[in-house]
Amino acid sequence: MIDEFFILRRDGLTLFHITLEENLYIIQMPTDLFAGFSSAIVAFASELGSGHLSKIEIEDQIYVYEVMKDFITVARISSDDDETIAEHVVAILYREFVREYKDELKDYDGTVRRDLFFPFSEKVKKIITKCEKIAEKNPHLLANIPPSIELDAIEKLSDFSEELVVNFPEATIKLTREFQRKLPADLMHYTMFRLGKEVGKDVAQKKIKKKVNDKSLMKLLKKISVCSLDENVVTLQICPFCRGRETEEHDCDFVAGFIEGAYNDSGISAREINCHAVGDQYCKFRIYKN
């Protein structure tokens, strides 16, 4: 549960403030009473610079906040709440706020029309509800996807998350290819690997039902494509994950993560070493065993 959410300007001026009271979100008039606490956050934030997600713990409350350019978005949760929800909420609502009030914010001085941003509460409630719904359905999903990724893409993946596992490999291939296209280049490798690892773990648990070894891994991968394992290198002869794509860098992080996740062993990792998408003949993945 997000118990409180607010947006501050970096000079400490409160722009928007909402609190959860008896399961209802109530908009608060941004008053100066709030300045004491907000100045503490501003002081922490000024040390951080722009583009940082951080948190302060005060007794059993956690303030998760993101500092971006001119603003700070803050969500307060209890220490037993899911922090990843708060991380996504502050990042998403920062983007939405700046997008929606770009013009109004230019010369806003906070002395008149303090209710100017009240309508934003609808967006705040909607985003919080969506994030909580995703987290309830897929406890690991938000933790594995960076908050800078648009919520619609995460939501779609969440809605079909059972299919990713149950209808492996057809739905897995289709949905992950779709999701990968929506990711910014700088986060794509990391995100797809983490996602693959999670899905690999779940698919192996469901289909193999005991600890995965080389033989049972190949049984799983054979459902994807003609493949072989030789000296800890898996070769996918026709890789449906990167089929039809031409890229500068390796493209099949999902498969590398999937292999690592399927073993579910902290001593085993996997990386893609060749990829059809960059012009190699086959996609190949090296398995490292400690």
* Residues in contact with Zn ion by the rule CB under 5 A: 239, 242, 252, 275, 283
User: Nearer Cβ to Zn ion, position 92 or 242?
Assistant: 242
| CA angle centred on 157, ends 154 and 158, rounded to 5° | 85
Residue from 231, 219, 256 nearest 241 by CA: 256
CA distance 190 to 113: 43
User: Nearer Cβ to Zn ion, position 43 or 238?
Assistant: 238
User: Nearer Cβ to Zn ion, position 154 or 270?
Assistant: 270
**Four-CA torsion 157, 160, 166, 167, nearest 10 degrees:** -90
For residue 184, cis peptide bond before it (omega within 30 degrees of 0): no
Q: How far is the CB of 275 from Zn ion (least distance, A)?
A: 4
Q: How far is the CB of 285 from Zn ion (least distance, A)?
A: 9
Residue from 121, 130, 65 nearest 97 by CA: 121
User: Nearer Cβ to Zn ion, position 25 or 241?
Assistant: 241
Q: How far is the CB of 241 from Zn ion (least distance, A)?
A: 6
Q: How far is the CB of 150 from Zn ion (least distance, A)?
A: 25
Contact by Cβ (8 Å): 2, 74: no
Q: How far is the CB of 272 from Zn ion (least distance, A)?
A: 6
User: Nearer Cβ to Zn ion, position 266 or 281?
Assistant: 281
Q: How far is the CB of 276 from Zn ion (least distance, A)?
A: 5
CA distance 64 to 75: 5
Q: How far is the CB of 242 from Zn ion (least distance, A)?
A: 4
The residue assigned the tokens 């406890």 is: 139
Burial pattern 219-248, b for ≥16 Cβ within 10 A else e, equals ebbeebbebeeeeeebbbeebbbbeebeee
According to DSSP, the β-strands at 71-78 and 24-27 are unpaired
User: Nearer Cβ to Zn ion, position 18 or 242?
Assistant: 242
CA distance 100 to 124: 12
The residue assigned the tokens 């109530």 is: 26
User: Nearer Cβ to Zn ion, position 76 or 189?
Assistant: 189
